[in-house]
Amino acid sequence: MEGHSGITGEPITGAVILDQIAASGIEFVVSVPDITTSAGLLWPLVEDKRFRLVRVCKEDEGVSICAAMSVCNKRALLLIQYTGFLDSINALRAAGCEYQMPVCIMAGLLQKEPGVKPTQSKSFGIRIVEPILDAMKIPHALLEDRGDERHIRPAIDAAYAQSYPTVLLIGRQM
């Protein structure tokens, strides 16, 4: 999957992300709130009739919920913070990687510096996200600037076509 240029451009907006999520056939959004995406994505999503929001207490619940929904031919997206992704690795390892189920995750990179690649962030937690995904052979893309939304639909379609997880990283607060 194409990486991020590292050049700061016009910020991506929640509205264009929501349109792409809807165009990808996502019906359920499962979420633990993240300040990175709270105002721009999650609050608008609450009112968006295209989706059914399922609030969960902990992110690994969401991994299992999304995986189970895929068996029922329902598409779901797990909207969380990257710390929640780190906390959910075992569930994702089992359901997504070993049992090869499509789990689509959108994770906010809390306090990542705009224009800086995640692997070059000052934040240790952010720096390790992409190497972990690479180790798990999970495709990932960074959504930070306007135009990055082009990654969303192909990533979700590929996850369901190949029955494997995908992770979309939100690179700046919206």
Which residue among 1, 46, 68, 161 contacts another protein (CB under 8 A)? Answer: 68
Residue 136 binds another protein (CB under 8 A): no
Lookup: tokens for 25: 């056939």
Instruction: State which residue, 109 or 133, has the beta carbon closest to another protein.
Output: 133
Neighbours of 78 (CB within 10 A): 31
Residue written as token pair 């959504």: 143
Helix, strand or coil, per DSSP, at residue 39 = helix
List 81's β-bridge partners, or say none: 108
Instruction: State which residue, 7 or 72, has the beta carbon closest to another protein.
Output: 72
What part of residues 88-107 is at the interface with another protein (CB under 8 A)? 90-91, 93-95, 98-100
Residue 61 binds another protein (CB under 8 A): yes
Task: Report which of 18, 7, 8, 146 is spatially closest to residue 77, judged by C-alpha positions.
Answer: 18
Number of residues that bind another protein (CB under 8 A): 30
Q: What are phi and psi of 103, to 5 degrees?
A: -120, 115
Residue 55 binds another protein (CB under 8 A): yes
Which residues in this chain contact another protein in the complex, by CB under 8 A? Answer: 28, 52, 54-58, 60-69, 71-74, 76, 90-91, 93-95, 98-100
